[in-house]
Amino acid sequence: MRYWLMKSEPSEYSIDDLARDGSVAWFGVRNYQARNFMRDQMRVGDGVLFYHSSCAEPGIAGLAEVAKPAYPDATQFDPKAKYFDPKATPEAPRWFNVDVKVKEKTRLMPLSEIRGYAELANMRVLSKGNRLSITPVDPAEWKFILDKLKP
């Protein structure tokens, strides 16, 4: 089992949306490294830290898990879609997504709090210049965060 931090802008899709819907296709990823994480490494049952980004208070907002293995992102084939890719074909897709299902909405663990723990200092989300929407999380970091999220 592996662990991941997956960023979503709450104005696009929030933890509340995931709690309402139950699961979602994690579509629209257009970074090769993030795509490779989904396509090559994510497995059903992997843990997910649902992270709100590009908002007033970014941070971990909930827990989820990978519910379906990688499959071609349908938006790459739709000329009307925001994420259309004219170089992608159904025979040779370039972009993939996984389905993610909600486990629980948690208290918000803001980025400022994450930065304050020496145990989390190596998290990729804290790396200078990191803009990846999907990053791996070390098992020790996962456990530490879960312990801090519990009331």
**Does 150 reside within a domain?**
no
Q: Determine the structural domain holding residue 21 and report its residue range.
A: 3-145
- Total number of domains in the chain: 1
Neighbour-count burial of 26, counting CB atoms closer than 10 A to its CB (0-12 exposed, 13-18 middle, 19+ buried): buried
**Does 26 reside within a domain?**
yes
Distance CA 54, CA 57 (A): 8
Cα three-residue angle 147-61-59, rounded to 5 degrees: 90
**Does 126 reside within a domain?**
yes
What CATH number has the domain bearing residue 93? 3.10.590.10
**Does 67 reside within a domain?**
yes
Q: How far is CA 97 from CA 14, 77, 125, in A?
A: 17, 13, 20
Residue 151 confidence (pLDDT): 73
Element (H, E) at 19: helix 15-21
User: In sequence order, what E strands does the chain have?
Assistant: 3-8, 23-25, 47-52, 59-72, 96-110, 134-137
- Give the other-Cβ count within 10 Å of 41's Cβ: 13
**Does 92 reside within a domain?**
yes
Residue 150 confidence (pLDDT): 86
**Does 151 reside within a domain?**
no
What mean pLDDT comes out for the span 10-25? Answer: 97
pLDDT digits (tens, 9 = 90+) for 87-118: 999 999 999 999 999 999 999 999 999 999 99
pTM reported for the whole predicted model: 0.95
